[in-house]
Amino acid sequence: NQSGIHQAIISFGDTPITFDNEFYLSLNFANRIKIVQITEKNNTSVIDKIYANKALFEIINRAGTNIDYAQLGQADLVVLNELERLDPALQTVLKDFMLAGGTVLLIPAVNPDIKTYQSLLPAIVASKQDNLLELAKPDSKNPFFTNVFQEQHSQMAMPLVKNSITWGDDRQAILKRQDDQPYLSLFQQQGRLYVMGGPMQSTHGTFLNHALIVPVMYRIAAYSRRN
């Protein structure tokens, strides 16, 4: 619960070596990351549980029919969580938000209104995937995963997923399915747009219950902090 910059020294004994035993550091306690989550009916979601650490995150929930657009402008990250459609007013505000350097995470609904989604990313189309597919193992060389994995076992079990939307090939995708199609992609211009392939529902896979979801969602939030 501290703020500002605090200096610290770590000192230890390493006999018989008596030099280079003090390490100096500055800890910058930044403000909490502001997150606005927009859901269909303002229901509690897995996003609330992931970002429940009040020392790190300030999360505000809004229903799609009751959005405080001024609040959106002050957020670091806006999560569009399974909205069936994006109304024109919201589309305009989101575009302005990203032009100002904001970050948006789009988690699609089971049966989304594709035309309204295309206002954020024209390449989005409805997915024809019928069965669950395993995610490919994350590329530890991807900058998104820098310092996330202490080690990565070849036998690590990956979650199963099913897309409700897709957006074509993306060699730089953060997460891909085993068929090499993207499941989580980043589109970056003035701001950032993260697009996820499917909703966080048990009908669409096990990603919502997999250990991988926490570092992925934390990293999205951390990168969303605006200077």
Residues 6+ apart with CB under 8 A from 221: 33, 35, 51, 56, 57, 76, 77
Rg (CA), the chain: 20
DSSP calls for 162-180:
--SEE-S--TT-SEEBTTS
pTM of the predicted model, to two decimals? 0.86
Per-residue model confidence as pLDDT tens digits over 26-81: 987 778 899 999 998 767 789 999 999 998 999 999 887 788 888 888 899 999 99
